[in-house]
Amino acid sequence: MKKILSLLAFLFCITLSIQLSAQTFTLEQFAAFNKLGMADFKKEMKGLNYRFYDKTEGLGFILSEYETPDYQSKIGKFEYEDKSDDRIEFEFKTKKEYDEYVKIILKAGYKETEKGKTLTKESYVDYYKNKEHIRLVIPKDVKNNRYTILVFK
C-alpha cells in the first residue's frame, strides 16, 4: 500500500509539471503508468482530464484508452493476464512531437535496434536500453493518422 501511495504521490508531482496544452508525457511517466494497475491508471487519466475513449477485451488482455479533451492525443494501457506484454500506447498527431521523442529517447541512452513494418504496414523503429523497450510507429498517411509511441513493461 505504501508503494502505491508513494507512486501516486510521485505521479501527482509529475502531473503538476505537465503543460496541459501540449498533453505530452515523459519517458519516466510512461514507465510509471506501466507500473500502475488498471484501476490506478484510470484514476490517473481522469486526474489529467483525459476522457474515456474505449475499452477492448481480447484473448488474454484488456486495453483501456483515454483521449484529451481537444482530441489531439490518446493514451492506452494494455494489461495482459500473464503480464508479459503490458504496455502503454500514446498516440499524437505531429511529426514535430515524434522528432522530439526520438531526441529524448536517444539522449536517455536508448539505441536503435530494429526497423520494420506493423501488421497494418506502418513503419516502426525499436529502441532498447538494457531490457527497456520503446517502439515508435510512423503512420502510412501522416496527414490523416497519428504517430504512436509504445513503451513496453
Does residue 7 have a pLDDT over 50? no
Q: Is the pLDDT of residue 5 over 70?
A: no
pLDDT of residue 21: 38
Average pLDDT over residues 72-90: 90
Q: What residues are paired with 64 via a beta bridge?
A: 55, 77
**What pLDDT, on a 0 to 100 scale, did the predictor assign at position 140?**
87
Q: Give the tens place of pLDDT for each residue, 86-132.
A: 899 999 989 999 999 999 999 999 999 999 999 989 999 999 999 99
- Burial grade of 151 (CB within 10 A; 0-12, 13-18, 19 or more): buried
Kindly tell me if the per-residue pLDDT of 57 is higher than 90. yes
